[in-house]
């Protein structure tokens, strides 16, 4: 093997490639890739540029947030306890018309900092001035699958301009930041984009061989106001238009019939479960257990900080599991291991990244998180999966590694100046509100 770049040893390992659990494990990283993984005793003679004694910690794949709007950290706590319709139309959309590229960059950096601190190594984002989000991904060291958002809302000229911007972004930023940036096309939703525009998006995405990231079946009220002539459901109308034929990442998926679920399964649509934001906006509960029975791949997301209010995937995993238990009135549904899969390998599959990330295996990218188990709320440790999902918090993350590069070690972020990022975002947010 020669000299390695990084050796992590003495930790428990939750690999997420089946229920493989290694005690006193070690991970060897070379050229940004996992070169070997096993017992610490097997690497006692390994020479490495950097060694991390991870005793008392557990290594797991970096968490994957499959639906968010990272720059919306600027709106955190700004508009609360409102229904989606008024929340969007009266506050969020008017504020977004005032956004400048530098605002988006400041908000994106704050979001990246928050995700590093809470163990997220990869995220799927849809927003405006997405080149600024790509810039934040590059600086922070994270991995991102990014889409420039498209909103038409009855204005065809606006829709066309945003469509062109989204396509240009996809063409120009694929593979950015040493390959850590992937791209999609981002039509906001069926209630904010016309059927003709959505068909155009589908054709363009197919030609570019990229995925589509959109909100789907999020609000029956908003869809019915604009879509009575498109068929009985969003899913059926999109399927009829041929929109669901390619790689589709569909966030929310709350208002689904059994026929909708069958269509999503047959078309291979990837659903993103967004429990916290859906609860906060009173939108309803996605029927995740039923979707899983249909064989749909379900991943997990936080949504933006304006509607969540955090980007903590540990919180999303716990609440996501508990919400399904109360909805189905069955404590056995969506157990800890299954929801941890949603936050790791199933999320990787949703983003077409399963060959590279999502589990800790030889040959995969070294996207690794170390969680400190030496906390009162994590003792005693009877079951590692339940402890990670039901007891751990984002603040328990000790070390974060992406592509073999350390982004945070022992709670110290190495790629960003934390104080500067927070101060700049706060100043930007207040300036934006005052415009």
> Could you say which DSSP state residue 265 is in?
H
Q: What's the mean pLDDT when you consider all of the chain?
A: 95
Q: Are 54 and 27 in contact (CB under 8 A)?
A: no
Q: Which among 121, 137, 143, 165 is positioned nearest to 71, based on CA atoms?
A: 137
> Could you say which DSSP state residue 284 is in?
-
Answer left, alpha or beta for residue 295, where phi above 0 means left and psi between -120 and 50 means alpha: left
Percent helix, strand and coil across the chain, each to the nearest 5: 40, 25, 35
Query: Is 0.85 surpassed by the pTM of this model?
Result: yes
Write the pLDDT tens digit of every residue in 257-287: 999 999 999 999 999 999 999 999 999 999 9
Which residues pair with residue 397 across a beta bridge?
A: 371
The answer to whether residue 218 scores a pLDDT higher than 80 is yes
* Concatenated DSSP letters of 321-359: HHHHHHHHT-TTSS-HHHHHHHTTHHHHHHTT-TTTSSS
* Choice among 79-93, 141-155, 289-303, 365-379 with the minimum mean pLDDT: 79-93
The answer to whether residue 151 scores a pLDDT higher than 80 is yes
Q: Give the torsion sign (CA, 73, 75, 76, 80).
A: negative
CA angle 68, 73, 74 (to 5 degrees): 135
pLDDT band at 223 (very low <50, low <70, confident <90, very high): low
Q: Are 235 and 263 in contact (CB under 8 A)?
A: yes
Backbone φ and ψ for 35, nearest 5 degrees, come out as -85, -30
The tokens for 69 are: 């709007």
What is the reported pLDDT for 352? 98
Domains plus CATH for the chain?
A: 4-61+362-413 (2.30.40.10), 63-350 (3.20.20.140)
The tokens for 30 are: 């070379």
The answer to whether residue 435 scores a pLDDT higher than 90 is no
Q: Which among 273, 275, 320, 268 is positioned nearest to 294, based on CA atoms?
A: 268
Please report which helix (H) or strand (E) contains residue 84, including its range: helix 84-86
pLDDT band at 225 (very low <50, low <70, confident <90, very high): low
Q: Are 173 and 181 in contact (CB under 8 A)?
A: yes
């Amino acid at each position: 093997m020669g000299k390695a770049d990084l050796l992590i040893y003495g930790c428990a390992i939750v690999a997420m490639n089946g229920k493989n659990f290694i005690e006193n494990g070690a991970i060897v990283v070379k050229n940004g890739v996992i070169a070997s993984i096993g017992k610490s005793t097997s690497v006692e003679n390994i020479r490495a540029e950097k060694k991390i004694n991870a005793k008392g910690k557990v290594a797991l794949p970096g968490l994957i947030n499959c639906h968010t709007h990272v720059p919306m950290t600027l709106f955190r706590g700004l508009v609360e306890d409102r229904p989606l319709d008024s929340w969007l139309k009266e506050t969020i959309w008017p504020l977004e018309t005032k956004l400048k590229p530098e605002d988006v960059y400041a908000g994106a950096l704050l979001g990246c900092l928050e995700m590093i601190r809470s163990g997220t190594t990869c995220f799927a984002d849809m927003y405006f001035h997405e080149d600024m989000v790509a810039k934040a991904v590059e600086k922070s060291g994270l991995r991102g699958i990014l889409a420039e958002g498209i909103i038409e809302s009855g204005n065809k000229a606006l829709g066309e301009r945003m469509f062109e911007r989204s396509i240009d972004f996809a063409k120009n930023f694929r593979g950015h930041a040493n390959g850590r940036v992937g791209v999609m096309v981002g039509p906001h939703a069926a209630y904010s984009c016309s059927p003709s525009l959505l068909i155009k998006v589908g054709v363009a995405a197919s030609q570019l061989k990229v995925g589509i990231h959109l909100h789907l079946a999020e609000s029956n009220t908003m869809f019915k106001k604009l879509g009575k002539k498109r068929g009985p459901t969003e899913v059926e109308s999109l399927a009829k238009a041929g929109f669901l034929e390619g790689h589709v990442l569909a966030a929310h998926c709350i208002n689904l019939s059994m026929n909708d679920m069958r269509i999503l399964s047959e078309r291979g649509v990837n659903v993103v479960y967004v429990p916290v934001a859906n609860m906060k906006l009173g939108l309803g509960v996605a029927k995740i257990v039923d979707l899983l029975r249909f064989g749909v791949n379900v991943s997990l997301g936080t949504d933006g900080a304006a509607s969540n209010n955090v980007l903590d995937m540990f919180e999303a995993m716990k609440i996501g599991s508990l919400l399904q238990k109360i909805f189905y009135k069955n404590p056995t549904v969506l157990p800890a291991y299954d929801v941890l899969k949603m936050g790791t390998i199933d999320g990787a599959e949703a983003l077409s990244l399963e060959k590279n990330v999502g589990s800790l295996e030889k040959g995969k990218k070294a996207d690794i998180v170390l969680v400190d188990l030496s906390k009162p709320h994590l003792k005693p440790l009877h079951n590692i999966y339940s402890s990670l999902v039901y007891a751990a918090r984002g603040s328990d993350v000790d070390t974060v590694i992406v592509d073999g590069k350390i982004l945070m070690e022992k709670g110290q972020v190495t790629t960003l100046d934390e104080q500067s990022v927070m101060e700049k975002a706060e100043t930007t947010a207040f300036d934006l509100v005052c415009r």
